Structure 1
Amino acid sequence: MLNAPRRSARAAASASAARPSATAGNVKKLILIGSSTGGVEALRNVLVGFPFDCPPTLIVQHTGKNFGSGLVSLLDRICPARVRAAEDGITLEPGHVYIAAGQRRHMGLTSRKPLRLRMKEGPDISGHTPSVDALFTSAVPYGKDVVATILTGMGQDGARGLLELRKAGAKTFAQDEKSSVVYGMPRVAWEMGAAQQQVPLTRMANTLLQASKV
């Protein structure tokens, strides 16, 4: 990760000029991702395959409180889309990836459009702050417009929320055992029927993007 090449000025300028003209908040699909142990490398593998005009993507990554800003910076180096830290009140835009990591607030969605991020203090949910379950549960009202996945990680955070999303019409996935550093969170999601399909990490980016087009 530390050796990830920064996007060239020419590529960045080209991507900026070609960004979609959709109005902020006027989005059709959302991609939600939850990850924990082994998630940094997993996210790198996923986001490098995302185009500059990807659907708004919200990520909760369990990490230490001092690593959140560094993670955002590292992923922004390799992702064609813009990667930024989650902040309260941000209006969701295509071509942007929002990451909650190392914060003491849960990330969720507002209950009305235009869709915005809501950062809320509170006790741990499923043992974590920020919590994947908190993010997934907040998106249930928009279920049919959501594509969600759980990547490698220890524990069960995200499984319950993923099940609620599936019941609400979302397309749901989990990383498969072979490609997971820790097959904990994905396993629970799969065994409880929250994930419709298990996907190898190498195919995850394409799977999420294709599901967001349907």
Structure 2
Amino acid sequence: MRKIKVLIVDDSVVIRNLVSEILSSDSQIEVVGEAEDPYIARELIKKLNPDVLTLDVKMPKMDGITFLENLMRLRPMPVVMLSTLTSQGADITLRALELGALDFIEKPSFETLIASKDNFKEQLLTIIKSAMTVEQKKYSLVQSVSDINLTQPLPFNGTKRENHLIAIGASTGGTEAIKSVLVNLPSNSPAIVITQHIPKTFSARFAERLNESCHICVQEAKHRQKIKTGYAYIAPGDQHLKVTEKNGSLFCVLEDSALVNRHKPSVDVLFHSLLPMANNVQAVLLTGMGNDGARAMLALKMQGARTLVQDKNTSLIWGMPGSAVQLNAHTDICELKQIPELLLSYAELDKKQMKEAF
């Protein structure tokens, strides 16, 4: 099996050495070169033809975002961003994902380097290996999503069922897939709850950026917040999001408990909380690594929920939706662009029509 060829682009010699040491320790990976700025990187890409790039954001001569934009236009390839988990870093990283970066990983500071090295190693190796499962054509797909501006929403007459709820789970590639779904929904859309694997410092800004692009209102979820029509609620990056019903209304519940499937927030946790109301739920699994959400989606299906998974062709990584398909947890497999219309058409059905149609 051919080794994965990686080019490291970072102006810090300490980080370059760290990343090189970690990657070289794995027999499946070969570090073919290092570059301290994008101009050197550009020449090395031509010469070495790497499979994957690790890319810093702040570099001399040209910033990482400008370089990434040029790269995705001229030579699309898997890029893993090394990001700082700050509010400024959130904006830059989310922009990188819009431009087609595969994923990001927290760049360890000098102060935390020793304590965080093992965790950094595990994350980095997992992401680099997952990059090889992505077909090159998928990057133009991601970029087409990022170019979406505020458009006319899909027609919708309103849901005929009280407390009808849409629940979405996603991971790698999910920030842009979620955006693709939400921008098409009208202001009277059924309420939506979302778990995206994302750090604490990124989730609020992610919600804000979505809110700027959508007709519905998008917020980071708050504990005991009432769930309302026309709103989407994003799980905070360090807490599980659940839904509970009380006195005929639905509420968000945030829980700071253990990781589930190595994640917090976890899609499985969100989906499991919906079991008591499953026959009035549409659950959706979008692109992402791993299998989070698959088992709980199966439980929802068995309790009468409608369950949609994004198809392999339009998923950046078909881990989570693919795991659901393996379990036969889905009622439908569909292209990303089909999902908004399918969600709305189902929401328009009354209980009698649901039984006749499904």
Query: How far 1:208 moved relative to its partner?
Result: 1.4
Give the letter for the 2:204 counterpart. S
Give the letter for the 2:343 counterpart. L
Q: 1:60 aligns with which of 172, 182, 195?
A: 195
Alignment of 1:158-173 (within 5 A): 158-173=293-308
Give the letter for the 1:92 counterpart. I
**2-structure distance, mates of 1:132, 1:189:** 12
Whether 2:273 is the aligned partner of 1:130: answer no
Q: 2:244 aligns with which of 98, 110, 113?
A: 110
Whether 2:288 is the aligned partner of 1:153: answer yes
Question: SS of the residue aligned with 1:34?
Answer: strand
Match of 1:192 in 2: 327
Aligned residues with identical type, % of pairs: 35
Question: SS of the residue aligned with 2:168?
Answer: strand
Match of 1:205 in 2: 340
Query: How far 1:65 moved relative to its partner?
Result: 2.3
Q: 1:70 aligns with which of 205, 229, 237?
A: 205
Give the letter for the 1:115 counterpart. L
**1-structure distance, mates of 2:189, 2:215:** 9
**Aligned residues of 1:136 and 1:162 also touching (Cα < 8 A):** yes
Give the letter for the 2:243 counterpart. L
Determine which structure has greater relative contact order: mean sequence separation of CA pairs < 8 Å that are 6+ residues apart, divided by chain length.
1
**2-structure distance, mates of 1:83, 1:206:** 19
**Given the two structures, how large is their TM-score scaled by the length of structure 1?**
0.86
**Aligned residues of 1:109 and 1:117 also touching (Cα < 8 A):** yes
Aligned residues: 198
Give the letter for the 1:55 counterpart. P
Query: How far 1:4 moved relative to its partner?
Result: 7.0
Q: 1:121 aligns with which of 251, 256, 261?
A: 256
Query: How far 1:213 moved relative to its partner?
Result: 2.0
- Higher-Rg structure is 2
Whether 2:230 is the aligned partner of 1:95: answer yes
List runs of 5+ in structure 1 lacking aligned partners. Answer: 12-19, 21-25
Query: How far 1:6 moved relative to its partner?
Result: 8.0
- Closer/same/farther in 2, CA of residues 4 and 73 from structure 1, 3 Å limit: farther
- Closer/same/farther in 2, CA of residues 168 and 100 from structure 1, 3 Å limit: same
- Closer/same/farther in 2, CA of residues 92 and 105 from structure 1, 3 Å limit: same
Query: How far 1:79 moved relative to its partner?
Result: 1.0
Give the letter for the 2:241 counterpart. M
List runs of 5+ in structure 2 lacking aligned partners. Answer: 1-93, 96-145, 153-157, 350-358
**Aligned residues of 1:153 and 1:181 also touching (Cα < 8 A):** yes
Match of 2:19 in 1: none
**1-structure distance, mates of 2:334, 2:148:** 27
**2-structure distance, mates of 1:5, 1:149:** 21
Query: How far 1:109 moved relative to its partner?
Result: 1.1
Match of 1:23 in 2: none
Query: How far 1:87 moved relative to its partner?
Result: 0.5
